[in-house]
Amino acid sequence: YPTEDIIIFDKQSKYQHIQVYETERFGNILVLDGDIQFSSKDEYIYHEMMAHVPSVYIKKMSNVLIIGGGDGGCVRELLKHKSINKIYVIDIDIEVIDVCKRYFPKVANGLSDSRVQVITKDANEWVKLTENIEKFRSYFDLVIMDVTDFGSSDPLFKDDFYKNLKRFMSRNSVFVTNGAVVDCISIYRSIIGLVKQLRLFFKYCFIYSAPVPIFDCNYGFVICSDFVNPMNSYIDHQRFRRQGIKTKYYTDKIHTNSF
């Protein structure tokens, strides 16, 4: 873990304490409110699994909503899919976005793509606005929630937020959220609690995971849908390969074994 003598950026934004550490083992590391978010060395594992696992269940993924995700990692991976029409990124903190562009350019480079619109708003308030509900009702094929585990993200783990968010999802859409460590029993209980909460709003909810070295654990994600049951849904991996999508970690076997 990083120590104070290698810090290269340190600032308190309006919403959180932002730090970047430079390390020999993991490269640059982004830390928000004292919590490690990702490292430049192994971020591809997290972002590939968050973006591609839900994507392969969607026959034509055109419009995507990302809650959080201002670092651009999920955007970078989703833009590899040729069917993408528009990606909306709603992140509350413009300073995190700017820091990632500066210190993690290989992660954030997709944010400048013409198909990407970055909205620096509070997502909890954005999903309540009548104008957004009318414009984007049943619009998104995929919704990704890539947020911090606490702090400014706390309102995004409430029932009202999920209830409002569902109005933006098409009937066959998929929702995925970052969860928690799944190989530590005390934290595993917390991700089980998240699944139970999400099952109030989605017919199918399942945990999948990936080993992320910077977290020193198997990190868990939760995938949900009213239409897609990942336990018995067909995945056309040939279609994935035909798009020429290059990944460093994600494969069809990794996909299956992650559940």
- Active site residues per annotation: 146
- Which pair of structure tokens corresponds to residue 7? 């810090």
State how far the Cα of 176 lies from the Cα of 55, in Å rounded to an integer.
Answer: 10
Q: Which residues have CB under 8 Å from 208's CB, separation 6+?
A: 49, 53, 220, 221, 223, 230, 258, 259
Report strand pairing: 63-68 vs 217-225. unpaired
State how far the Cα of 230 lies from the Cα of 227, in Å rounded to an integer.
Answer: 10
CB 97 within 8 A of CB 13: no
Three-state DSSP at 187 gives helix
Q: What is the DSSP letter of 220?
A: E
Task: Name residue 38's beta-bridge partners.
Answer: 30
**178: region left, alpha or beta (phi > 0 left; psi from -120 to 50 alpha):** beta
Sheet holding 86-90, edge to edge: 116-119, 86-90, 63-68, 140-146, 169-181, 217-225, 204-212
State how far the Cα of 166 lies from the Cα of 143, in Å rounded to an integer.
Answer: 9
State how far the Cα of 69 lies from the Cα of 148, in Å rounded to an integer.
Answer: 9
